[in-house]
Amino acid sequence: MRVPSTPDGLAHSTAPSLEAEPLYAKLEAILRGMGSVLVCYSGGVDSAFVLAVAHRVLGDRCIGMTAVSPSLADLERDQAIALAKHMGARHELAASSEIDDESYAKNNVDRCFHCKSELYRVSEAKQREWGLAFSVNGTNLDDLGDYRPGLEAAKKAGARSPLVEAGFAKVDVRRISKLLGLPVWDKPAAACLSSRLPYGTRVTRERLAQVGSLEAELHALGIRQARVRWHAVGGSEGTTESAMARVEVGGDEMALAFEAREAIVRAGRRLGFAYVTLDLAGYRTGSHNEVLRGRALPVIS
């Protein structure tokens, strides 16, 4: 069934009704009970879904905020802006300076905690400025199982996770986002660019620009699910001239990546990578977490 669109850019279905979805009804009730919210909005499916529902329920008492820093890919920022406009939701960009925090830049296993601490510091300030009652995020139940120190930062900041409170898993978010008419309902998972650097490798603007630019090249070649993992090679200096790009793509796009290997290598070399490799294990979330079990972390300054 084709769901008719409405002036706010979303779909309002009647068969089946969104209101007939118990999880959706619970989420609406939770957001309505908050009165007004700042949504920490990255443009990914989870935070986009929260923003869409909050906008439907609260109208101008809901503002989506995207934190902008070197760890946010330009493509992700631009897509977040376009999507919020599509929804008709108010959307604001706010500068985030986690890269200036030494605890973040040295990239220990708690990097995400310091990143999210800065995010919630910014959101709390904007929340007060805009006169909103709560800051909320797009965390869902599936996020609670991986190593995610950022969840502790949210807890300490008092940010709420309405999807967790309502009982949403990722599959529920995608299913109801599709019913709602969100164009990102099937968008691949995304993460900040700093997650592309191994723990112990210093986060710098130059390294983030390298991986972000090569990922943009991969997307331009038609590869939807792509990660460029940055690795130092040839000694401990870890300069851009001695870096390797380990490219992860979805299993169903492996053949496309192999066919485009010459273009990918040219792009990687142009961006300063000495080597460009294709990871045969394919894309998986948090692959840098695979080294955490009892191993010492090399320090690459």
Percent above pLDDT 90 for the chain = 77
| Residues 209 and 171 placed together within one structural domain of the fold | no
Q: What is the CATH number of the domain that holds 263?
A: 3.30.300
How long is the chain? Answer: 301
User: What is the dihedral angle through the alpha carbons of 158, 163, 168, 169, rounded to the nearest 10 degrees?
Assistant: -70
- What average pLDDT does the structure give for the chain? 88
Query: Residue 205 belongs to what domain range?
Result: 194-291
Q: Is residue 223 part of a domain?
A: yes
Percent above pLDDT 70 for the chain = 85
Task: Out of 152, 180, 208, pick the residue that ends a domain.
Answer: 180
Q: Does the structure show a pLDDT above 60 at 216?
A: yes
State the average pLDDT over residues 7-16.
50
| Residues 91 and 129 placed together within one structural domain of the fold | yes
Closest to 245 (Cα-Cα) out of 180, 193, 176: 193
Q: Is residue 188 part of a domain?
A: no
Q: Does the structure show a pLDDT above 70 at 185?
A: yes
pLDDT for the residue 48: 98
Q: Does the structure show a pLDDT above 80 at 76?
A: yes
Q: Is residue 12 part of a domain?
A: no
Q: Which residue has the higher pLDDT, 152 or 259?
A: 259
Q: Please state, in angstroms and rounded to a whole number, the distance separating the CA atoms of residues 195 and 45.
A: 18
| Residues 114 and 169 placed together within one structural domain of the fold | yes
131, two tokens: 């006169």
Q: How many CA atoms lie within 13 A of 155 on its CB side?
A: 8
Task: Out of 137, 154, 180, pick the residue that ends a domain.
Answer: 180
**Residue 102, number of CB atoms within 10 A of its CB:** 9
Per DSSP, the residues of 160-171 read: B-HHHHHT--HH
pLDDT for the residue 189: 83
Q: Is residue 297 part of a domain?
A: no
| Residues 209 and 157 placed together within one structural domain of the fold | no
The set of residues, in sequence order, having a beta carbon less than 8 Å from that of 107 and lying 6+ positions away, is 194, 197, 198, 199, 200, 201, 202, 203
Q: Does the structure show a pLDDT above 50 at 13?
A: no
Element holding 50 (H helix, E strand): helix 45-58
| Residues 45 and 168 placed together within one structural domain of the fold | yes
Q: Does the structure show a pLDDT above 60 at 241?
A: no
| Residues 28 and 170 placed together within one structural domain of the fold | yes
9, 62, 113, 160 from 95: Cα distances, Å:
27, 19, 18, 21
Give the number of domains in the chain. 2
Q: What is the CATH number of the domain that holds 46?
A: 3.40.50.620
First-residue to last-residue Cα distance in the chain: 55
| Residues 166 and 221 placed together within one structural domain of the fold | no
Token pair 């989870």 is at which residue? 46
Closest to 65 (Cα-Cα) out of 86, 82, 43, 32: 43
Contact 187, 195 (CB under 8 A): no
pLDDT in tens, 34-60: 999 999 999 999 999 999 999 999 999
For 2-26, b/e burial (b = at least 16 CB within 10 A) is: eeeeeeebbbebeeeebeebebbee
φ, ψ for residue 236 (rounded to 5)?
-95, -5
Q: Is residue 45 part of a domain?
A: yes
Q: Is residue 7 part of a domain?
A: no
Q: Please state, in angstroms and rounded to a whole number, the distance separating the CA atoms of residues 82 and 286.
A: 27
Q: Is residue 53 part of a domain?
A: yes
Contact 146, 139 (CB under 8 A): no
CA angle 268, 273, 276 (to 5 degrees): 60
78, two tokens: 């631009």
Q: Is residue 301 part of a domain?
A: no
pLDDT for the residue 42: 95
* Predicted TM-score of the model (pTM): 0.84
